[in-house]
Amino acid sequence: MIERRKPIPIGEAVQKIMEYQLQGLTEYVSINESFGRFLSEDLMATSDVPHFDRAPYDGFAVRSIDTREASQSNSVEFEVIDHLGAGMVSPKVVGQNQAVRIMTGAMMPEGTDAVVMFEVAKDYEKNESPYMSIKRSFNKGDNVSFAGEDAKEGEVLVKKGTLINPGIQAMLATFGYKDVPVAKKPVVGLFATGTELLEVDESLVPGKIRNSNSHMIAAQIERVGGIVQYFGKLPDEFDTCFDAVKDALTKVDLLITTGGVSVGDFDYLPAIYKKLGAEVFFNKVAMRPGSVTTVAGYKGKILFGLSGNPSACYVGFELFARPIIRRQLFSKKPHLRKEKAVLEVDFPKANPFTRFVRSSTFIEDGRLKATPSGLDKSNIIMSLAGANSLMILPGGTRGFSAGDDVDVLLLEDQVGSEWPW
Amino acid sequence: MIERRKPIPIGEAVQKIMEYQLQGLTEYVSINESFGRFLSEDLMATSDVPHFDRAPYDGFAVRSIDTREASQSNSVEFEVIDHLGAGMVSPKVVGQNQAVRIMTGAMMPEGTDAVVMFEVAKDYEKNESPYMSIKRSFNKGDNVSFAGEDAKEGEVLVKKGTLINPGIQAMLATFGYKDVPVAKKPVVGLFATGTELLEVDESLVPGKIRNSNSHMIAAQIERVGGIVQYFGKLPDEFDTCFDAVKDALTKVDLLITTGGVSVGDFDYLPAIYKKLGAEVFFNKVAMRPGSVTTVAGYKGKILFGLSGNPSACYVGFELFARPIIRRQLFSKKPHLRKEKAVLEVDFPKANPFTRFVRSSTFIEDGRLKATPSGLDKSNIIMSLAGANSLMILPGGTRGFSAGDDVDVLLLEDQVGSEWPW
């Protein structure tokens, strides 16, 4: 007898997972290892930036009051009493008609309030001492970067949940974050099921294929920001299988299995969920591919029973596992980023269910366009390689034509969506 | 005296670097570590996929010839002689009016050439043996995935220089690539210069700031696919400084210094290049920020003298260092990806030189739009954190208005451009 399952809408399926309480955790890593991690706390300015008034250009620091009379017809002379590189601090107080030669980034000497750029000064020596003269006046603050101009102490500059990019690395360094609070990477366990599966280093034999799903999902876990713990192939025998799953659950935050979740004669996963006493959120979703995806909660962990079919497996991970992993990374936009694109080709197939078509999305003349990436049979992994997106073709439609607007989910993007459903 | 330098156009500067011969190298890494690396050889199908005829659905494998007489009014009966899960191979040869119960992915038994899906079959027992009957005919090949349907042995499926994504991981596994030929990551040395620089764990003192450029550039090196070797701050004394640079050059593929490259009074780098006998490709570029970038070749290595100014440093790396690193990773599109976007706000500043404005580029209703990310002073690192792109505002223009088309270079993208200049 074939078991009848009731498919639920995609948005509802995702919501059931997101409602399950999983908390993100903080760990501290050296700033040298924080690139690409997610901030688990707000990044705060621990000082003003700059934290002293400084010269933004090479030139001469002066008292603007002394420049008042300078003009094309009236050159004003200054004695150059010191010479500062960035990082140096002058011990001198600058008096009337005195100046300090100053390099970009150096602290303004006491008494000065403007910088005369080299280009508008004439420098020379008199009695073996350096002098310079100018033929224009300056206002207080001209060519000075003031303390706090870029950031004020105490200001929140980057929100928690943000992916650390090179610019944020610079900010972390500026504010002395030697150790950076980042989201602990969730550990995602991975089992493959299937008598037909060979390991990557085994030779092909009739009827068997190499296990590609585990390597694919492992990469998807890494891409989203998790750590993979691969437990190998589940044994064929039910009790051993059950023990392996139960034991693995003690070692991971989430557990993914590929295959064995359907209603085929050798699909053990449903029975395992049952014996565990796991709360099955759903075991069928109104979508193609991936309709037989099963997700269950068990003692604060989530079990993802993804289809053994490569496309369904891929899509199931991105729709259902990605967002909960990203939420553990404190992301405010944990779901795949959804954008509108123009369909480049006809897609005449009718869709009783919402269909996710592996696609290549690209930009042409400032416009997002999308085209299916290769033959779209659900057992074809080839088209996954070229796919950077999933085109969403809503259910209940009779096909689409080139030029139609379609929604696409971007796979390689790090921005995300709040709630695309 | 201020040295006069002759600025060269950006495209010419980039070209001079790209013409310098640097070869990419191959190394083999385990498939478990190949995600995110760049293929250094074409990925070839080492077998047909599938490599045997198989059932794409659960059902009964039959000889289509036996179904010819089946119709709504004429039910045809089959004896079910075997039961196959994926990975199993039937030892039996299927004869007249015989069938094999078969699961998705299993090899077609000898003699069969079509699969009857469960939904259209009626199964029952007779004399304690399994039987099934159908009321429609099937053609040879119906519901069969044929060997070689997805890929043919010997076919090149992914070109060298491609970034390995989860789909490619699946293909590598399918074809038995236990060890994957990938581009060796170039080792990029990094020196900071500047008396004003404190390390990240040092307390602020007047006139000094923490070294943020090294952490920023280190992240940029990682993002593009290189390995960072940080050598710390260059000493202030010329000879020690020269020895440090010369020694570092023996340990890295490329060497980046930040600061000390301008015409300021404490800028040693030009003298170091001279004493080394390095071939200076250029020491000034017609652009803002980053005009004082200096790049030189020396014994098959390249020295990048980036500005100490954070914005200039950032832009200098992305325009000049990124493409040569990506070329060592065998990328066919080593430069930042250039796309057209609609400017969201007025940018009234006149541009005597081509200006790179740190920007946030986003998609709205399928259209690329861009807006400067915060105040755009060249010493402000804050706006770098929010920037995902550099807007190119060509030199010789009087400013831009909201709604104008502008070119943007995408910083977080992995696609790249062949030659954007």
Per CB-CB distance under 8 Å, the chain B contacts of A105 are: 194, 196, 209, 308, 379
Which residues 6+ apart lie within 8 Å of B301 measured at CB?
B249, B252, B253, B254, B255
Q: Testing the interface with A: which of B30, B217, B363, B390 to mutate, by most A Cβ within 10 A?
A: B363
Q: In Å, what is the CA distance from B421 to each residue of A415, B10, B290, B335, B344? A: 28, 8, 16, 10, 23
Residue B190 has pLDDT above 90, yes or no: yes
State the average pLDDT for chain B.
92
Across B118-128, average pLDDT: 94
Subunit contact B223:A173, Cβ cutoff 8 A: no
For B57, name the nearest residue in chain A, comparing CA atoms only. Answer: A264
Among B88-102, B238-252, B253-267, B384-398, which stretch is predicted with the lowest mean pLDDT? B253-267
The mean pLDDT value of chain A amounts to 92
Band of residue B85 on the pLDDT scale cut at 50, 70, 90: confident
For residues A229 and B170, give the distance between their C-alpha atoms in angstroms, rounded to a whole number.
17
pLDDT of B162 over the 60 cut: yes
pLDDT recorded at residue A379: 45
Q: Does residue A273 contact residue A303 with C-beta atoms inside 8 Å? A: yes
Is the model's pLDDT at B114 over the cut of 90? yes
Distance CA B368, CA B380 (A): 26
Task: Give residue A382's pLDDT band: very low, low, confident or very high (50, 70, 90).
Answer: low
What is the ipTM metric for this complex? 0.93
Confidence of residue B263 (pLDDT cuts 50, 70, 90): low
Mention every residue, 6+ apart, whose C-beta is less than 8 A from residue A85.
Answer: A103, A106, B195, B196, B264, B265, B266
> Could you report the per-residue pLDDT of A76-102, keeping only the tens digit for each?
999 999 999 888 899 999 999 999 999
Token pair 């779209």: residue: A376
pLDDT at B84 over 60: yes
**In whole angstroms, what is the distance from residue A88 CA to residue A104 CA?**
11
Q: State the pLDDT confidence band at A378, using cuts at 50, 70 and 90.
A: very low
Is residue A8 helix, strand or coil? Answer: strand
pLDDT of B3 > 70? The answer is no
Q: Report how many Cβ contacts below 8 Å link chain A to chain B.
A: 306
Are B136 and B67 in contact by the 8 Å Cβ rule? The answer is: yes
Looking at the DSSP bridge assignments, the partners of residue B287 are B354
**Start-to-end CA span in chain B (Å):** 34
Instruction: Report the pLDDT value the prediction gives residue A1, as an integer from 0 to 100.
Output: 44
pLDDT surpasses 60 at B379? no
pLDDT digits (tens, 9 = 90+) for B12-22: 999 999 999 78
pLDDT greater than 80 at residue A236 = no
Question: Pairing mode, if any, of strands B76-84 and B129-134?
Answer: antiparallel
CB contact (8 A) between residue B219 and residue A169: yes
As a whole number of Å, the end-to-end CA separation of chain A is 34
Burial bucket for residue B104 (CB in 10 Å: 0-12, 13-18, 19+):
buried
Determine phi and psi for A86, rounding to 5 degrees: -55, 140
CB B110 within 8 A of CB B129: no
Chain A residues whose beta carbon lies within 8 Å of the beta carbon of residue B382: 49, 150-151, 157, 171
Q: How far apart are CA A376 and CA A358, in angstroms?
A: 7
Q: Among all residues of chain B, which has the CA nearest to that of A103? A: B264
pLDDT at A262: 64
Distance of residue B402 Cα from the nearest chain A Cα, in angstroms: 15
pLDDT, residue B2, reads: 52
Residue A185 has a CB neighbour count (10 Å cut-off) of 21
Are B370 and B344 within 8 A, CB to CB? yes
Q: Do A207 and B87 touch (CB under 8 A)?
A: yes
- Which residues in chain B are contacts of A365 at CB distance < 8 A? 340
What are the two backbone dihedrals, phi and then psi, of residue A317, each rounded to the nearest 5 degrees?
Answer: -60, -50
Residue-level pLDDT at B262: 64
Whole-number Å distance between alpha carbons of A317 and A337:
15
Domains of chain B (ranges; CATH) run 10-25+185-328 (3.40.980.10), 28-46+156-183 (3.90.105.10), 59-134 (2.170.190.11), 337-410 (2.40.340.10)
DSSP letters, A286-329, are SEES-TT-EEEEETTEEEEEE-SSHHHHHHHIIIIIHHHHHHHT
Determine what percent of chain A is predicted with pLDDT higher than 70.
96
